[in-house]
Amino acid sequence: MAAATAGKEELLQSVFETVCASGLVIKRQQRDEPDLNKKEKFVLLRELLESSPGCFLMRFGSALNENQLQYFDNYNDYEVTYRLKEFRKGQSPDYRKGIIRNRRYRAIEVLTETTDYFTELVMKERCPSLYQQYIGQYLSDQEKRRLGEGQDQLSLLAQVLEGETDTESGEGEKLSDNPVEAIQEKLLYRKEFLRLMHLRFLDGKDDQDFDYSTVDGNIEYDDSAIKNRDFEDEYFDSEEPSEITEKVSRSPDTDR
């Protein structure tokens, strides 16, 4: 019994050590107040734990590992039970994988709005063979020239639909003889290329070009509006390959 009690106290000391090292606020202090020392922090943590274990977990449970969470298993308290379930769910590999995927999806939106990462020229550099397969082989000389001047293909195709540029095809697979249908096909190919580039990013295949650690562990990318987004059904992983993908001759992707 004494050994068990000593082991439990040792585990509790580990809990307190972890909380103190986590940077979580133990007590709000006035600007001129001296920082709490370790002993003072331990006293405050013990007082909170004894008065309200559920509140203790709510405030500090996110910093604890599974072994430390076991300290709270014997509490006969609804809030403690609820908090333990939530924290353990958050530590499961599948749950963590979902959080990371959601953060990467949010990063796609941010990168698209604020950087050139998903512009056509930059994606072409990142994945040239896929670009050639879906876009490059269909570009006319005029489109290639304008692309070289910094206009992306989507803008060029919009101009075509407005009658502002030519409708000739490139040297690749034959497009429709109908000019409007040919442009619509180009738009579909371009959108499919963009979808695949987004999927590459989500799957972590841009690791040579992008530092995923800036997103995967960053709570700033947690967005309540997309937490429950079903990527499998809504956008990325349909069971049936899209018609546009089937029309493009597939080759192994050898890009980085």
**DSSP character string of 37-54:** -HHHHHHHHHHHHHH-HH
Choose among 161, 231, 165: nearest CA to 203: 231
| pLDDT category of residue 126 using cuts at 50, 70 and 90 | very high
Determine the residue type at 132. Answer: Q
Taking alpha carbons only, the member of 217, 214, 218, 234 closest to residue 226 is 234
Angle at 203 between CA 199 and CA 206, to 5 degrees: 90
What would the pLDDT profile of 200-223 be if each residue is shown by its tens digit? 999 999 999 999 988 887 878 876
Percent of the chain with pLDDT over 70: 73
* pLDDT number for residue 74: 87
| Nearest CA among 196, 172, 202, 199 for reference residue 185 | 172
The whole-number pLDDT of residue 199 equals 95
Confidence of residue 13 (pLDDT cuts 50, 70, 90): very high
Kindly give, in sequence order, each residue whose CB lies less than 8 Å from that of residue 181, ignoring residues fewer than 6 positions away: 175
Q: Could you tell me the pTM of the whole model? A: 0.56
Give 143-170 pLDDT, tens digit per residue: 777 776 665 555 555 554 444 444 455 5
**Could you tell me how many helices (H) and strands (E) the chain has, helices first?**
14, 0
The amino acid that residue 145 corresponds to is R
